[in-house]
Structure 1
Amino acid sequence: MALLEIKDVSVHYGRIQALHGISLTVNEGEIVTLIGANGAGKTTTMRALAGLLNLSSGSVMFEGEDISKLAGHKRVVRGISLTPEGRGIFPAMTVRENLEMGTYALKRRTPVDESFDKVFDLFPRLKEREAQAGGTLSGGEQQMLAIGRALMGQPKVLLLDEPSMGLAPQFIRQIFSIISQVNEQGITVLLVEQNANQALGRADRAYVLETGRITRTGSGAELLADPAVKEAYLGVA
């Protein structure tokens, strides 16, 4: 079943058109990957899904309902959480306070306590640093914190924008392993990622975005084997 859909969406920044009528579908329970070069429109797509950008045309559908006009914070309440490019943590707040910022959409206290338990199970390192300021964490730990904060809202779909950017190789492997664990817990994932090899290797389905247009789609395995994708994104001629 389609959980989240973009239908023929265009987005402009002033006179510059960033997305040209793109369509994509994220089915319940999937990991879907969106790959593309810098400037292709990947972050614009994620921000449009999260309600942080106005659409020039087209629609965003969630659970069969048009949410194109729904404000970003109301999309969080509905079950859409974004981990933004660059992490966006609050450096002066403690790890626990950062995580609490992800709970404002929840109506009852009990699920918040359960959310802390789940996040600390996924990220034991965050539990160890619960009272530490977010700004003192390593880059990999900050990315864990950003993902953990998004999970605190108990999302139905998690939007991850470049989670491996700037991380050391050991943290990249760990982050992708955690993405798979999150998905196994029943959370649908839409992943924007430049590390195409790792992302496609874990994706049920994938899309290639080039200069604001979807140019290829298929299973993760199909795109991993596609000669044009190999040459452009996997460094294989």
Structure 2
Amino acid sequence: MLLEVEGLCVNYGHIEAIRDISFGVQEGEIVCLIGANGAGKTTTLKTISGLRTVREGQVRFDGQDITNVPAYERVALRLSQSPEGRGVFVGMSVRENLDMGAYVRKDVKTPAYREDLDRVFDLFPRLKERERQIAGTMSGGEQQMLAIGRALMARPRLLLLDEPSMGLAPKLIQQIFSIIKEINEQGTTVLVVEQNAAQALKLADTAHILETGEIVRSGTGAELSGDDSVKAAYLGGDV
């Protein structure tokens, strides 16, 4: 198991944001967390990446307990995140943003680094076209591509994606999900938080449904997308 989350509890002050969450991510999988706003999806992802303090429970990555490991050290262990809202460095160029994604690497002047940069440009040709453009002047879809590309520059074994389709036009949503699948097929394990449940379940090997900080259902993407109660609650009655 590449990622193991066991009995995880996280508070915001006195408010219990997630409680007793347990799940795993096998190497090579795409795993999705779906649920309504406030269900605890983003908190779960932030806790895995080291941005939230654990009250109880454990996070293990490749067999190592990383529950109390700082976020920057988790990136060095090859766990990186594309955050909700993209979070690009708006005053920097596309290339500078991508270079920032590789800040923990020691091989920035080597062919391996250039290969990873070329991989990002192959996945997102628009970024290559706009390599010198200031990120803050780009469209929302372009910034989402940049946020994912920046996370990939850390050469992650596990890529965490928080709401990659948020605010995007339907045509671009299809493109982003297609690229996520391609990233996975190239060998990167993916854990994605997504409100677009229909698209997420089509993509997922395994999916978990969160409600008020707890996992209430788990299964394959196909199983959950075919379940009538899931359709009614999350898919508008249909996938």
TM-score by length of structure 1 reads: 0.98
Match of 1:200 in 2: 201
Q: Percent identity?
A: 61
Q: Would you say how many aligned residue pairs link Structure 1 and Structure 2?
A: 236
Matched, 1:41 2:40: yes
Deviation digits for residues 92-143 of structure 1 (CA, Å, limit 9, x no counterpart): 1100001110011112122321211110010000000000000111111000
Counterpart Cα distance in 2 of 1:11 and 1:228: 28
Match of 1:150 in 2: 151
Deviation digits for residues 142-196 of structure 1 (CA, Å, limit 9, x no counterpart): 0000000000000000000000000011110110000000000000000100111
Matched, 1:217 2:197: no
Match of 1:7 in 2: 6
Match of 1:57 in 2: 56
The one-letter code matched in structure 1 to 2:233 is: A
RMSD of equivalent CA atoms: 0.8
Counterpart Cα distance in 2 of 1:69 and 1:15: 21
Match of 2:18 in 1: 19
Counterpart secondary structure, 1:182: helix
Counterpart secondary structure, 2:2: strand
Structure 1 stretches lacking a partner, 5+ long: none
Match of 1:99 in 2: 98
* Deviation for aligned residue 1:198: 0.7
Match of 2:227 in 1: 226
Counterpart Cα distance in 2 of 1:92 and 1:171: 24
Counterpart Cα distance in 1 of 2:93 and 2:103: 17
Counterpart Cα distance in 1 of 2:235 and 2:181: 21
Match of 1:77 in 2: 76
Return structure 1 stretches of 4+ with deviation > 4 angstroms: none
The one-letter code matched in structure 1 to 2:160 is: L
* Deviation for aligned residue 1:232: 1.1
The one-letter code matched in structure 2 to 1:14 is: G
Counterpart Cα distance in 1 of 2:72 and 2:121: 24
Match of 2:184 in 1: 183
* Deviation for aligned residue 1:43: 0.4
Structure 2 stretches lacking a partner, 5+ long: none
Counterpart Cα distance in 2 of 1:85 and 1:226: 28
Matched, 1:167 2:168: yes
Counterpart Cα distance in 2 of 1:148 and 1:211: 31
Counterpart secondary structure, 1:43: helix
Counterpart secondary structure, 2:177: helix
Match of 2:124 in 1: 123
* Deviation for aligned residue 1:228: 1.5
TM-score by length of structure 2 reads: 0.97
Counterpart Cα distance in 2 of 1:226 and 1:82: 30
Counterpart Cα distance in 2 of 1:106 and 1:118: 16
